[in-house]
Structure 1
């Protein structure tokens, strides 16, 4: 009697599974294109189902970010972190690797928040052979045992296994996604397949939903603050060497900004820098220009300035807006800036010389 009951139960399970497979195949056929339709009673491939679900989750995240008007860099973070989460990584980070500028971490997992990330990025730019291998080959690189791999030069890293993934737009690398495990792991063949699918899908999401290719490849904007970057400043200087119009060049530096990163973490520091930059942009005219010179240093070019008292008014306005406290996740941040300025052509013959003079004046104020 017991055997009969067991047999009946097994038959019911088999029928349920078989019937479910047929239903799934029917629904898949309804959705798929004619040329891609599977044969009538073939259940969908598990790999294909996982890939399609993964792809749809990327688009769902992108659409949610757009609906909630999330800033582009935060939206990109939400998309890129999907893969490390799927791979059950212990930590991850996204390193921006421009060929003609300083490398920097754009975002990272919370457990890396209190590391000296600016210093680490500079160290990797010099000695990071594992990252350079990813950039040169434009291929995924998996290092199973970092201690035994000749490309791995990070002496104080906790990573035992590491995966480097090139993030590309229009076949140009914008950065490398670092996926780290604190114990040795294996990446299965299917996971490697999924990673390659992920790269295709991220490229598609970026181009289709956010159009970030202009931001990363052809734009002169700093990714974090949306101010112009150092490259844009150099371009501006070269284009205005013979410009004799009256301008003011302001060089500013945030006071003790490193303490914000040390006390509250780089995430809070980055958010504060974004807010403060936006405030400064709102306190100058639309045809004036603000450039991120490096770290927490900025250069502002004010057009049509003729008198010192006019620039003094602008500087006081900038200082006032920066002093207003920032609240971020129940953290109160109060900051200040040191500023130096130089008038062109009254005090310097061109923008390049004016930046040098304004920089020196800024440091004199900081010392005072």
Structure 2
């Protein structure tokens, strides 16, 4: 009698599963495109199931960030860290690698807080062949045993196995995600294929997220301050060579900013620069432009402002915004700027010449 009951239960379970399978297949066929409708009873591909789940997780994160209006860098971190979490890494870090300029860590897991990350980034930029390989090939690189690899040359490292993942936006590498394990691990061919699929999805999600938020993370924005970068400045100059409309070009430089980095470290220095840049942005109109010219130098272009009184007011507003003290980790930091300006077309025929004149005037004020 017991066996009959067991067989009946099993039969009912099989009927239920079979019924649910048919129902699911019908709904799947409704969603799919006409070209690629799957066979009604074909089991789903494991790669597709995992990829769809991962993509769904990325979209959920992006939507949450949009709904809560979080900072761009936090949104980027929330999306990128999905990969090391999926890979069950012991630690991870994201190193931004601009072709010109200093490399630096933007995010990292908490268990790396004790490391001198400014020194590590500087060391990697000079002799980090493992990162350079990822940067140059734009492909993932796995090192099973770092001690046996001729590419590995890191002093401050607990990694036994390491995976370098290029993070791409619009086919340009913006940084390398370091995934570390403190014991030797293996990454199968299946996992490598999944990682490459995930990278395609991350690229699409990042483009979608930042375009929806009107803050696209592309080659025209500086990764730290989120204002336009030097490349965007050069493009703007080339596009406005024959532009005769009235503009004010301001060249500004932070005073003794190197001292802030030396005294408090580059991480605090980055936070200060990011905050001060945001204050400067809030001191000008939304249709005015600000470019990070290099390091702690910035170019501001004010549209249709020529009266000296108005210019002076804007300059004083910018200086006051920068001069207001900043508190970071119970540390009070006071900064200041030197700047010079030039009128277009009254004093210079184009933006490039105006920047040269404004730069010289800034230097005289700094002296």
Residues 151-170 of structure 1 correspond to what in structure 2 (within 5 A)? 151-170=151-170
Q: 1:252 Cα shift?
A: 2.6
> Residue 208 and residue 234 in structure 1: after superposition, are their counterparts in 2 closer, same or farther (change >3 A)?
closer
Q: 1:67 Cα shift?
A: 2.0
Q: 1:58 Cα shift?
A: 1.1
Q: Secondary structure at the match of 1:226?
A: coil
1:360 aligned residue (352, 360, 363): 363
CA offsets, 1:145-200, max 9 Å, x none? Answer: 12221222323333222111122344443332221223322223332232122112
Q: 1:327 Cα shift?
A: 6.8
Q: Which has the larger displacement, 74-83 or 350-359? A: 350-359
Q: 1:205 Cα shift?
A: 1.9
Could you tell me which residue of structure 2 aligns to residue 337 of structure 1?
A: 336
> Residue 241 and residue 122 in structure 1: after superposition, are their counterparts in 2 closer, same or farther (change >3 A)?
farther
Find the aligned partners of 1:46 and 1:13 in 2 and give their Cα distance. Answer: 29
Residues 80-99 of structure 1 correspond to what in structure 2 (within 5 A)? 80-99=80-99
CA offsets, 1:244-302, max 9 Å, x none? Answer: 97745332316558758976983x66555433322212212445432223444433345
Unaligned runs of 5+ in 2: none
Q: Secondary structure at the match of 2:63?
A: helix
Check the 8 A contact 1:340/1:362 in 2, yes or no: yes
Q: What is the RMSD of the two structures over their aligned residues, measured on CA atoms? A: 4.2
Find the aligned partners of 2:45 and 2:261 in 1 and give their Cα distance. Answer: 50
Q: 1:64 Cα shift?
A: 1.5
Q: Secondary structure at the match of 1:291?
A: strand
* TM-score, normalisation: structure 2: 0.76
State the number of aligned residues: 355
Residues 1-368 of structure 1 correspond to what in structure 2 (within 5 A)? 22=18, 25-26=21-22, 28-33=24-29, 35-40=36-41, 44=44, 46-100=46-100, 102-113=102-113, 115=115, 117=117, 120-211=120-211, 215-217=216-218, 219-236=219-236, 247-253=248-254, 259=260, 266=267, 270-286=270-286, 288-302=288-302, 304-305=305-306, 307=308, 312-324=312-324, 334-343=333-342, 350-354=353-357, 356-358=359-361, 360-361=363-364, 363-364=366-367
> Residue 23 and residue 100 in structure 1: after superposition, are their counterparts in 2 closer, same or farther (change >3 A)?
farther
Q: Which has the larger displacement, 334-343 or 141-150? A: 334-343
Q: 1:17 Cα shift?
A: 7.4
Check the 8 A contact 1:24/1:43 in 2, yes or no: no
Q: 1:13 Cα shift?
A: 9.2
Q: 1:361 Cα shift?
A: 4.0
Q: 1:44 Cα shift?
A: 4.5
Q: 1:104 Cα shift?
A: 3.9
* TM-score, normalisation: structure 1: 0.75
Q: Secondary structure at the match of 2:153?
A: coil
> Residue 139 and residue 264 in structure 1: after superposition, are their counterparts in 2 closer, same or farther (change >3 A)?
closer
Q: 1:83 Cα shift?
A: 0.8
Check the 8 A contact 1:251/1:359 in 2, yes or no: yes
> Residue 12 and residue 186 in structure 1: after superposition, are their counterparts in 2 closer, same or farther (change >3 A)?
farther
Q: Secondary structure at the match of 1:83?
A: helix
Q: 1:49 Cα shift?
A: 3.3
> Residue 338 and residue 205 in structure 1: after superposition, are their counterparts in 2 closer, same or farther (change >3 A)?
closer
> Residue 24 and residue 201 in structure 1: after superposition, are their counterparts in 2 closer, same or farther (change >3 A)?
farther
Check the 8 A contact 1:325/1:332 in 2, yes or no: no
Find the aligned partners of 2:81 and 2:255 in 1 and give their Cα distance. Answer: 31
Q: Secondary structure at the match of 2:54?
A: helix
> Residue 301 and residue 119 in structure 1: after superposition, are their counterparts in 2 closer, same or farther (change >3 A)?
farther
CA offsets, 1:93-133, max 9 Å, x none? Answer: 22333445554444333344565545544443343322232
Find the aligned partners of 1:99 and 1:124 in 2 and give their Cα distance. Answer: 14
